[in-house]
Chains A and B, each alone.
Chain A
């Protein structure tokens, strides 16, 4: 079963009198366990699309299914519950909770979203921090971490609930090159290790070498799909 199925998805923003066409008739499929990216210039609709897939917003028209669920009408607490159960998020600005340490940030979704028992929580947090390479930063608060470290903690937080899909909107935009590569590399490793699908967006063409399937957006339209996996026809 495909992880994401988008069929004729359009999104219009109404701002006062104006109607802005952010996405037009976008259709694609993402298979489980893939490392995919949407690229395109600023304003091409990458964030809009990721928000739709992430159940943070609803398409104006079209069909969108994530993990077998039609998410095009999901709202409020139902959407929140769906996100908490099936999705992980990595943000451009890291968005760690400032009052919590790195370890507690990773623990947060297990505790306040999924209510996992303590013993299991501790085990998973330790494993994830270890996997993304920031185990030694566990007790530091976000403002004591570098950008690259914060984003790895964020990746650990996104993965700790073992979601089917992690969405990352421009996860490297606020990082220097070395950190950006390291974070993409970490996500890629996590995908190999846990089999989680990653879909991220970027307009930085230098970080796309790791990507297995590359979707290119332009003016809200999907203009090309490049599948680089072995055996796939492009």
Chain B
């Protein structure tokens, strides 16, 4: 084995230029994939984190049919106390749930006495909302990050358009489920930075103010946003809640509730899926580059060394040994390229983190790109590339082992 290794290494260094060329090609491919996966992966994770942590939550539960007409925020589709109780009981039982926040959502009119415009409002319980959307406080760019009765958090675009600032008094008007219009004077408590995604430009008031404006005689809820302890348990928790809550029927025997993950609520999930597909695609390209270039080099190596192979076979080297010799050579070539690409790629990822490159996404400016890769990802890529190198060498190696020594010796 050691001798086979020595022969493989010596032959690789004997054809130095060719080895360097193919090795660099593999290295560049590995480097490119690593950096892409690090950048795309951290972009994705950051965007998902923003969307789920600053408004959406990981999961949401609505009355069946609410999401289909979510654009109009239909008050008639709100959950009633009995339903809310059932859901809260179910969520309370789950170990995976960290927090949940019932929200009452409605469309209203925002008036400054001189101007008015429409606005989408969330009426929330502040403690539960901040626990479910921990990044919401961070979005308050002016004023105080708090929600209490008589106070409203106003989205940035609205504040700018209506020229209001924290401390200003405004009127919030809404039509309730019975069709009567009610208003309430509130103070602008803080200005919220916009984020991409649904609800990224909503206003927030205390749930008691919402109940007052909508003249609710009993608590109602439009949606319940859920935060999980571990984002990784999303699929499992979703499945569990879909069976438990999704399985509950109303008096007509129809499902009462619907459960959605952030993915089916945020259009960004399409971008995230695209990134995943792109990643697979780029890996496939890498695999083909490695396959073609290593196979090419190994076919050439066998062809150039036909007489040498004939000699080894003539003096009694078994076909299996010859096969291993060439297999090892291709494998080492791939491994060296992988090593080089990984080292340079990790260096580049480190440099990108230090450089703190910023980018804009939708309304958001100056997001910092912090690419990172896990050790598992690096190892998986290395294993793939080395395995593909071995596969690429297999055919030439088998060909070498099957050469007839007498014909190989005549070759020149």
* Chain A residue with Cβ nearest B311: A95
Tell me the complex Cα distance, A107–B406, Å: 23
Determine the residue in chain A with the shortest Cβ distance to B8. Answer: A99
Once the chains bind, are B316 and A100 in contact (CB under 8 Å)?
Answer: no
Q: How far is the CA of A82 from the CA of B316 in the complex (A)?
A: 7
Main secondary structure of the interface of B (DSSP, over half): helix
Judge whether A89 and B315 touch: CB under 8 Å. Answer: yes
Chain A hits for B14, CB < 8 A: 98-99
How big is the B interface, by class? 20 to 34
CA distance A107 to B320 in the complex (A): 19
From B6, B11, B310, B318, A77 is in contact (CB under 8 Å) with B318
Mark A94-127 against chain B: 1 for CB-CB distance below 8 A, else 0: 0101111000100111011110000000000000
Contacts of A99 in B (CB 8 A): 6-7, 10-11, 14
Write the A79-90 contact mask toward B (1 if CB under 8 angstroms, else 0): 011111101110
Q: Which residues of B contact A88 (CB under 8 A)?
A: 315
**Contact partner, B3, options A56, A87, A112, Cβ 8 Å:** A112
Please report the total number of A residues contacting B with Cβ < 8 Å. Answer: 32
User: Whole-angstrom distance between the alpha carbons of A93 and B306 in the complex?
Assistant: 14
CA distance A87 to B314 in the complex (A): 10
Per the bound structure, the CA–CA distance linking A84 and B315 in Å amounts to 6
Judge whether A109 and B308 touch: CB under 8 Å.
Answer: no
Give the top 3 A-B pairs by smallest Cβ distance, nearest first: A84-B316, A99-B10, A95-B311
A80 engages B313 (CB within 8 Å): yes
Nearest CB in chain B to that of A161: its residue: B316
In whole Å, how far is A102's beta carbon from the nearest beta carbon of chain B? 14
Alpha-carbon distance A84/B322, docked complex (angstroms)? 14
Contact of A109 with B315 in the complex, beta carbons under 8 Å: yes
A179 within 8 A of B: no
**Apart from A97-B7, A99-B6, A108-B312, what 18 extra A-B contacts exist at CB < 8 Å?**
A51-B406, A56-B314, A76-B319, A80-B316, A83-B314, A83-B315, A84-B315, A88-B315, A89-B314, A95-B409, A97-B308, A97-B311, A97-B312, A99-B10, A112-B4, A112-B317, A112-B321, A158-B315
Contacts of A81 in B (CB 8 A): 316, 318
A95 to B313, CA, bound (A): 12
**Please, how many angstroms separate the alpha-carbon atoms of A81 and B406 in the complex?**
15
Residue contact B307 to A113, C-beta cutoff 8 Å:
no
Report whether B7 and A100 are in contact in the complex, using a CB–CB cutoff of 8 Å.
yes
Q: Are B316 and A109 in contact (CB under 8 A)?
A: yes
For residue B317, which residues in chain A have a CB less than 8 angstroms away from its CB?
80, 84, 112-113
